[in-house]
Amino acid sequence: MNFKLKQPKSSNESLILFYSTLPNKERFVYSTGERIPVNLWDFNIQFPRKTKSQKDQELVNMVTMQLNRYSSLFNKTKSTLLSRDLEVTKKRLKESFDQEFKNIKVDKGFWGVYKEFCESKKSLGDWSKSTQSRYEKSFYNLMKDFESYGSKLNVETIDEKWMGKFKTYCERVKEHQVNTYGRNLGLLKAFLGYCYNEGYTKNEYFRKLKVKRVITDQVALTMEELDTMYTLDLSNSKRLERVRDLFVLGCNTGLRFSDYKRISRGHVSNGYITVRETKDKSKTQRIPLSKTASEILEKYDYNLPVISDQKFREYIKEVASLSGINEPIIKVKQIGNQTEEILTTRNNRISTHTARRTFITIMKNMKVPDAIIMKITGHKSMSSFNMYYRPTSEDVGSELKRVFDKEESNE
């Protein structure tokens, strides 16, 4: 990386060129647009030289400052490309230099920028495995399907009219419920924010998007149901026994499935489980080890069985049914402003995340202070924490009687 004069033998001034020989032997040359009198150029170091003339030194300082911008951008671009495992080429350097110094943005199209967005987030380690899967699979397929439905994707034209079409498609064609639509809208908003920050668009409509979520009718187990499940004899079915044990471990730790399924001997010390979250790698949770959790870990010699999310969700429903957790319930399906009630059974509402919800519900029902529970679960906001609490009708009834019966007895 260096600079040189385009007309070094000129008797007046010369244009300054930036150049570098790249690892692939390509030679990158770019005009800086800066000019300098030849007599103010140091040919030994290929850079403006100091002078005693105040007027000339002012010009030298100004040119030097501009040339440093080129050197800085070259190093930044090279570092970024290498961090993404991309080759440093003339084409990529020119795109970067044109964008910075000529305000020329290469039109990569929606999918070209989307690919860059995914590569950038992965290389920076900003995404958990679940977020990466959503962007590279479910959200990617959704947007591809929407495009094939007749809506050409262009970040510049995403406005209120476009969002109306997208919302209608998600609700009527894909039959996405409110939370599914809200989750995908959040993913889209994050991508459009990247497009804006990186200069691919000046469209700020994404800032107006409101991600709506509703509290769903998810279930949580009582302590009695959890005890029944844990003591259930499943010795004749190893697949169900392993799923049951993992689920009960989750109910005793409050961890997400992605975290409690990977607990090993290295995570346990002095009666505590210490594990870094997969969803937010900046968080480390330290959880007291209950008697039941210890029994399960020791049962498998701290080498827990490996079960896929899909199989876990399928098998835990069987376990719940065998445990007698199969009473009829109503599932509310909400798409847009329309709601539908579907008759199902309680075991069919149990999944991987039920364990974390069960832990929080049982702890709150046992009057454990919210601050202590949140210390264990890692929640930072009360709003997100309270979405996990699922009191039963019996809980509500007993609390009401406790309050009002007490008042009556004091009269």
What confidence score (pLDDT) does residue 202 get? 81
CA 31 to centroid of chain Cα atoms: 40
Q: How far apart are CA 259 and CA 248, in angstroms?
A: 14
Residue located via tokens 């259930």: 232
What confidence score (pLDDT) does residue 293 get? 93
What confidence score (pLDDT) does residue 35 get? 94
Cβ pair 327, 346 in contact under 8 A: yes
Q: How far apart are CA 341 and CA 328, in angstroms?
A: 13
What confidence score (pLDDT) does residue 409 get? 45
What confidence score (pLDDT) does residue 179 get? 85
- Burial environment of residue 310 by CB neighbours within 10 A (0 to 12, 13 to 18, 19 or more): exposed
How large is the angle between the packed helices 354-365 and 223-231, nearest 10 degrees? 130
What confidence score (pLDDT) does residue 279 get? 67
What confidence score (pLDDT) does residue 184 get? 94
Closest CA to 187 of 218, 209, 160, 205: 209
| Residue 31 one-letter amino acid | S
Q: Which residues of the chain have pLDDT under 50?
A: 408-411
Residue-by-residue DSSP string for 214-259: ---------HHHHHHHHH---TT-HHHHHHHHHHHHHHHH---HHH
Residue-by-residue DSSP string for 123-190: HHT---HHHHHIIIIIHHHHHHHHHHTT----GGG-SHHHHHHHHHIIIIIS---HHHHHHHHHHHHH
What's the token pair of residue 95?
């795109």
Q: What is the pLDDT of residues 260-274, one digit of tens each?
A: 888 999 999 998 999
What confidence score (pLDDT) does residue 40 get? 94
3-state secondary structure of 308: coil
Closest CA to 37 of 65, 61, 8: 8
pTM for the model: 0.56
What's the token pair of residue 270?
């002095």
